[in-house]
Amino acid sequence: MDICEAVSSIRNKNKINIHGYLMVKDKKRNNSYYWYCKKRDQLRCNGRATTMFTKNQYHLVKFTDHNHAADASQVKVVKSLNLLKEQAQQTNDQLVQVIQSVLAGSS
């Protein structure tokens, strides 16, 4: 079973990176989590996944194909936005300085 990387969005929605596809949490039953493709509405993608949450990790159980290519940079963008939001809340620096700091660290 593959281990999947959990990613928080800037609106605190649960997302997960599965094989380069960003998935959004649909529902949870017991230890099973059901996910749909982030581009479901935009591209009418029917890509879905099921994971089991054990030992503080999401383990891939089932994965259906998407109608588009994977985009690994999406995950990097979400992580950068999360970092930007976090640093902006924790510092008194000007927003421009925070943005420059995050961009310099992500290159």
Please name the amino acid found at residue 85.
K
Give residue 3's pLDDT.
86
- Whole-angstrom Cα distance, residue 52 to residue 75? 21
Average pLDDT over residues 60-70: 91
Q: What is the pLDDT of residue 45?
A: 94
Look at residue 54 and tell me whether its pLDDT is greater than 80: yes
Where are the chain's structural domains? 3-106
* Predicted local confidence at residue 93, as pLDDT: 76
The DSSP code sequence of 9-55 is -TT--EEEEETTEEEEEEEEETTEEEEEETTHHHH----EEEEEEET
Domain 3-106 has CATH 2.20.25.240: yes
DSSP code of residue 67 = S
Instruction: Give the pair of three-digit tokens for residue 21.
Output: 């596809």
